[in-house]
Amino acid sequence: MQPVIYLALADDWEVRGNGTGDPRVLQFKPMRQLVKIFNRYGVRGSFNVEVMQQLTYRRLQDRFPELKIIADEWEQVVKGAFCQGHDIQLHLHPQWLNAEYQGNGNWKLPGDWSIINYPTQQIRAMLVAGKQYLEHLLHEIDPSYTCISFRAGSWCAAPSDSLLPILSELGFVFDMSIVAGLRLETRHVKLDYTQCDERFAPYYPEMRDARRASRSVEPIVCIPTNSFSGARIALFRRDFGKASAMLRRKFREGQQIGTGTALSCGRGGDEWTNKGESGVLGLAKRVLKRYVVGQTHVADLSRLNFAMMRLMMANIHRQAAQCSLACVPVILGSHTKDISDFSDIERFVATLTRSADIKTVTLTEIAHGLRNGTLKVRAAA
């Protein structure tokens, strides 16, 4: 019997990792558009809102009144989505710690990009501040709201002696930072999730290394953010289409490629380039990896075209059929800052509502299912 897939659409709501980009362009406008699509098809989405940015804006708002205007609208957009039935959960980029505002939408972010590289007390302080901020904000609307899930900035969650124990102490039900198969070695982030014990189903993690599945019941659950491999032809068509569209747009606007202000769109194209993949040889290596060898794709709707979304769902159905669970939660991702065309996402959301074995849920509903036993947790072999 085909299991029921409890599918959560969980967006990471943020500006660029280096702090650049206008929140109105990268966050507020696309979030409102995504909410409209969800509402049109009766789907409740989840937004992992990046709180360190907001706390920084609030900290500096007396010195820079323009930051207060943006921070106020940030709250209005979050509360607006929540009032319409969508979920709000915690996302956190620690590089905002002690950030310095340089004016005109530009920031200097001195902090490490990986939360697991911080001392235990700083990790706890950031998580407490983020959780308390969201709960205080949303208790005005729903006094029963609880912040119950977490996704680490840049996916950095393991290995760590501190992160999972602190999350469990603070009442988080599950973490969704692990992306099986993902490996990053950029100038800001280093992680290796290529050898994860569990790639698909919820599991109890070893408390010092979320990549490992525990043989015991633990105080917190890990649910991998979905990933898949292959899709080389669809990936090439997507990249070719994006490049062609960009060239046409730049030609029409009479601009040179690579121009644009930090305020409107943000820098950061090279922020995620792995070491050894820059320059001509690096480009050849990336092309070989992407279109010949194949690579792991994060199930990130903002970076997939509809053909890749279909391949992603086919892979999810195969894994679910092989899973021993009657009901399995699957978490997809997206980044509103990266969405330029909502048509494929809307088409994908429409197909979900016609699938008999898929139930779209929020992250809070997944937490309730884990607590009441509707959703089972796979034990280590």
pLDDT digits (tens, 9 = 90+) for 23-37: 999 999 999 999 999
Q: In the chain, what percentage of residues exceed pLDDT 70?
A: 82
- CB-CB contact of 366 with 6 (8 Å): yes
> Rounded to 5 degrees, what are φ and ψ at 40?
-60, -35
Any idea where the domains of the chain sit in the sequence?
A: 4-230+298-372
pLDDT of 290 above 60: no
Query: What gap in Å lies between CA 102 and CA 32, rounded to an integer?
Result: 28
Q: In the chain, what percentage of residues exceed pLDDT 90?
A: 80
Compute the CA torsion angle 26, 28, 30, 34 (nearest 10 deg).
140
DSSP 8-class letter at 25: I
User: Token digits for 261?
Assistant: 């202000």
- CB-CB contact of 150 with 175 (8 Å): yes
Mean pLDDT over 214-219 rounds to: 96
Contacts 24+ apart (CB under 8 A), 167-170: 167/127, 167/220, 168/207, 168/218, 168/219, 168/220, 170/124, 170/127, 170/128, 170/131
- Across the chain, mean pLDDT equals 88
- Please report the sign of the dihedral spanned by the C-alpha atoms of residue 357, residue 362, residue 364, residue 365: negative
Model-wide pTM > 0.85: yes
pLDDT of 304 above 50: yes
pLDDT of 4 above 80: yes
- In tens, the pLDDT along 104-163 reads 999 999 999 999 999 999 999 999 999 999 999 999 999 999 999 999 999 999 999 999
pLDDT of amino acid 240: 58
CATH number of this structure's domain 4-230+298-372, picked from the four choices 3.40.50.11400, 3.90.1860.10, 3.40.50.300, 3.20.20.370: 3.20.20.370
pLDDT of 283 above 50: no
Selected residue with higher pLDDT from 226 and 286: 226
- CB-CB contact of 308 with 238 (8 Å): yes
Number of H helices, E strands in the chain: 11, 16
pLDDT of amino acid 271: 62
pLDDT of 39 above 80: yes
Mean pLDDT over 349-371 rounds to: 97
- In tens, the pLDDT along 150-203 reads 999 999 999 999 999 999 999 999 999 999 999 999 999 999 999 999 999 999
- Tokens 């917190």 correspond to what residue? 220
